[in-house]
Amino acid sequence: MIRETSISDVDAVAELHHKSIDNSFLTLLGVDFLKVLHEGFVESDLAQTFVYCEDGIVRGLICGTNHPKGFLKKIFFLKLARFTKIIIPKLLTNPKILFSCFETLFYSKKTQIREDAELLVIVVDKDVRGEGIGSKLLTHLLDEFSRKNARKVKVIVDESNTYANQFYGKMGFNIEKSVKLYGKKIDVYSRSLT
Ligand SMILES: CC(C)(COP(=O)(O)OP(=O)(O)OC[C@H]1O[C@@H](n2cnc3c(N)ncnc32)[C@H](O)[C@@H]1OP(=O)(O)O)[C@@H](O)C(=O)NCCC(=O)NCCS
């Protein structure tokens, strides 16, 4: 069953995000960081957030925005005190992450493709991948974007994430350009919603 994410889902959503995406900068910042981030998504009027639940357990999540320009920056400043408290100790042990923090805040300009919606996060529990849950969540979000009159949606994907690249190809997305972010090649996919 797909439903809107509520504040009471945030802990489960952050835990699922944390255990399911290895190797991404946001995941490296830790589960407490992800809790604040997902709380920001749920509270924002500019975001659309859904979970896929089975027997009351969150098995998948999806978050998007129909106001992609500088969206993460807005969430960051909304939760500035809590993000700072989590990030500062990490910066003291690994100052290099400061550069990645700036890349995260400003990536939307670098990856701009005249989109008016963006898929920010999609995660399905490892135990139930390949069962169609990701497709259902994505279709649900795309329908929501269409209802909000969005015409073009963007998602950025690490080139090395083979499964996700196949998934977006199957769901009708095409690579529009590639950029370098976090020292990796990142593909910028788009799909028309009309
Ligand atoms: C990407 C992701 C959300 C897809 O969710 P899912 O529920 O497994 O997707 P679906 O079951 O709807 O599968 C849709 C398509 O993905 C591809 N796919 C599914 N299982 C796959 C596998 N084991 N290997 C490669 N491709 C696979 C296929 O193209 C599949 O279509 P098909 O069933 O017609 O063959 C999920 O793999 C995931 O959570 N990955 C980790 C997080 C992540 O990388 N998110 C995207 C970051 S941009």
31 CA → ligand 1 middle, Å: 23
Answer yes or no: is the C-beta of 166 below 6 A from any ligand 1 atom. yes
CA-157 nearest atom, ligand 1: 48
Choose which residue among 128, 156, 163 to substitute to test ligand 1 binding: the one with the highest number of ligand atoms within 8 A of its C-beta. Answer: 163
DSSP 109: H
Give residue 99's pLDDT: 85
For the chain, what is the domain count?
1
User: What is the rounded distance in angstroms from the CA atom of residue 190 to the CA atom of residue 114?
Assistant: 10
What pLDDT score was predicted for residue 183? 87
What backbone phi and psi angles, to 5 degrees, belong to 13?
A: -65, -45
Range of 128's domain? 2-192
Closest CA to 171 of 144, 140, 148, 129: 140
Residue 85 sits in a domain whose CATH number is 3.40.630.30
pLDDT reported for residue 22: 76
Q: Which among 87, 94, 69, 80 is positioned nearest to 150, based on CA atoms?
A: 69
Ligand 1 center from residue 132 Cα (angstroms): 8
> What pLDDT sits at residue 26?
84
Distance of CA 165 from the midpoint of ligand 1 (Å): 9
Q: SS3 for 155?
A: strand
Mean pLDDT by runs of 10 across the 194 residues of the chain is 97 95 83 96 97 96 96 92 91 86 86 95 96 98 97 95 94 96 93 90
